[in-house]
Amino acid sequence: MKELSALAQSVRASTTIAIDTQFKKMRAEGIDVIGFGMGEPDFPTPEHIKQAGIRAIENDQTKYTPTPGTMEVRKAVCKRMLEDWGVSYEPEEVIVNAGAKHILYVTLKTLVNPGDEVILPAPYWVSYYEIIKMVGGVPVVVDTTEASGFKMSAQQLKDAITPKTKALIFNNPSNPTGMMYSREQMEELAKVCVEEDLYVISDEIYGKLTFDGKQYVSFPSLSPEIKERTILVNGVSKSYAMTGWRIGFAAGNRDIIKVMSNYLSHCISGTSAISQAAAAEAFAGEQDEIETMRKEFEVRRDYLYERMNKIPGVHAVRSEATFYMLMNLEELVGKTLYGVEIHDSDDFAKVFLEKGLVAVVPCTGFGAPNYVRWSFAVSMENIKEGLDRLENFLKNA
């Protein structure tokens, strides 16, 4: 048989999904493993949202919808963006489809010609890197350090720009670091993007999950100039505990949205009509439950951070948002744990899963080889048990 596409074959499977699959397999075999892998809220979808989905089925809202989404859901997105971040969009500037991940793919497909460079600050969510490659683009990784709060400076951004640079992927708050840029830092970056004529893909999917009373600033809200060149990406998965409903959206310049819609009209059409009805309720209805979940994530963040820092050999990086916490492993690199020499977080995560019975995400594929990511979208009871296991695992190694 002839060879498969070289581009398709160069794509690596998602580490987050691979870890979760391995964790679920071990569970199915009856092994008492605890998972901190998948970034997925452990809460059920709020009741009023579920009811909207049920009503949609009962009312026979079970047919194709317009590709960019029903008018109801696009209006609900506009309402939410205006109320939450003060950014104003018309429904024609919004496209709702099957999850933020696919929306990111279509956004990049729309912006990038083969060989165009896309700037990606590291640590980054594993899928960005692969999606840039999938559309024929070239990821240009800008490394940041723990000392700088994992934030990319305007100078670093400038230094990474070449005549081929098309766009910046800006994920704030960040998966996997949990870090959040201040308004001033964002303004400095925005200035460079305007001067250098870059598109900005602003993934704000964790924007509602911020801690310590910090106010989130949406990138397009900074100025009309930056809004014009920003494609805002968001969804319902994280804030509304709706990962399985598969709803994400992009908002931005209507010409870009139109091209995205044309592209999607051949590869998905509209996403599930039922999920769109539920998402419309999520965005336009009662918002109280987000706050309940956010508060619980903050309590877990505090516990995880404080206890992890008392465990010799590792330290936690205090997250300011999301439901992720990075654990720094530098002290363990070069050491041997349970007969395995630890070169990077891949080695650590493997042996921690096999011997410690805890699944965490190695951040090698996230551009941060000496860190693993703990998701605290799991119960407090499991967090306590997971940390007990970490303590014993390192003590007995």
Q: Which residues bind ligand GLU (CB under 6 A)?
A: 14, 16-17, 38-40, 101, 125, 127, 175
- Helix, strand, or coil here: 15? helix
What number of other Cβ atoms are within 10 A of residue 43's Cβ? Answer: 14
Among 317, 308, 390, CA closest to 351: 390
Q: Which segment (105-113, 137-145, 235-243, 354-362) binds ligand PMP by CB under 6 A? A: 235-243
DSSP 16-65: HHHHHHHHHHHHHTT---EE--S---SSPPPHHHHHHHHHHHHTT--S--
Q: What H or E segment, with its residue span, contains residue 358?
A: strand 358-359
36 binds, among ligand PMP, ligand GLU, none (CB under 5 to 8 A by kind): none
The distance of closest approach from Cβ of residue 101 to ligand GLU in the complex, given in angstroms and rounded to an integer, is 6
The distance of closest approach from Cβ of residue 364 to ligand PMP in the complex, given in angstroms and rounded to an integer, is 17
Q: Does 68 bind ligand PMP (CB under 6 A)?
A: no
Q: Does 248 bind ligand PMP (CB under 6 A)?
A: yes
In whole angstroms, what is the distance from residue 187 CA to residue 9 CA?
A: 39
Q: Does 100 bind ligand PMP (CB under 6 A)?
A: yes
In whole angstroms, what is the distance from residue 89 CA to residue 108 CA?
A: 21
The distance of closest approach from Cβ of residue 287 to ligand PMP in the complex, given in angstroms and rounded to an integer, is 18
- Interacting residue with ligand PMP among 65, 144, 177, 237 (CB under 6 A): 237
Q: Compare residues 125 and 348 and give the one whose CB is closer to ligand GLU.
A: 125
User: Which two structure tokens, joined as six digits, stand for 292?
Assistant: 């309940």
**For residue 54, is it left (φ>0), alpha (ψ between -120 and 50) or beta?**
alpha
Q: Compare residues 70 and 210 and give the one whose CB is closer to ligand GLU.
A: 210
The distance of closest approach from Cβ of residue 237 to ligand GLU in the complex, given in angstroms and rounded to an integer, is 8
The distance of closest approach from Cβ of residue 40 to ligand GLU in the complex, given in angstroms and rounded to an integer, is 6
Q: Does 252 bind ligand PMP (CB under 6 A)?
A: no
Q: Which segment (72-80, 93-101, 139-147, 162-170) binds ligand PMP by CB under 6 A? A: 93-101
The distance of closest approach from Cβ of residue 40 to ligand PMP in the complex, given in angstroms and rounded to an integer, is 8
In whole angstroms, what is the distance from residue 101 CA to residue 9 CA?
A: 19
- Chain positions 34 to 63 lying near ligand PMP, rule: CB under 6 A, are 39
Which amino acid belongs to residue 227?
A: K
- Chain positions 155 to 214 lying near ligand PMP, rule: CB under 6 A, are 171, 175, 203, 205
Q: Compare residues 155 and 269 and give the one whose CB is closer to ligand PMP.
A: 269
Q: Length of the chain in residues, anyone?
A: 397
**Ranges of H-type helices in the chain:** 6-9, 15-28, 47-58, 71-85, 100-111, 126-134, 154-160, 183-195, 224-228, 254-267, 273-284, 288-308, 345-356, 380-395
CA atoms within 13 A on the CB side of 341: 2
Q: Compare residues 102 and 229 and give the one whose CB is closer to ligand PMP.
A: 102
- Interacting residue with ligand PMP among 37, 91, 99, 356 (CB under 6 A): 99
100 binds, among ligand GLU, ligand PMP, none (CB under 5 to 8 A by kind): ligand PMP
Q: Compare residues 39 and 68 and give the one whose CB is closer to ligand GLU.
A: 39
The distance of closest approach from Cβ of residue 376 to ligand GLU in the complex, given in angstroms and rounded to an integer, is 12
In whole angstroms, what is the distance from residue 2 CA to residue 68 CA?
A: 37
Q: Does 101 bind ligand PMP (CB under 6 A)?
A: yes
- Interacting residue with ligand PMP among 15, 45, 221, 243 (CB under 6 A): 243
14 binds, among ligand PMP, ligand GLU, none (CB under 5 to 8 A by kind): ligand GLU
Decide the pairing of beta strands 324-328 and 371-375: antiparallel
Among 365, 101, 99, CA closest to 236: 99
Q: Compare residues 52 and 106 and give the one whose CB is closer to ligand PMP.
A: 106
Binding site for ligand PMP (CB under 6 A): 39, 99-101, 125, 171, 175, 203, 205, 235, 237, 243, 248
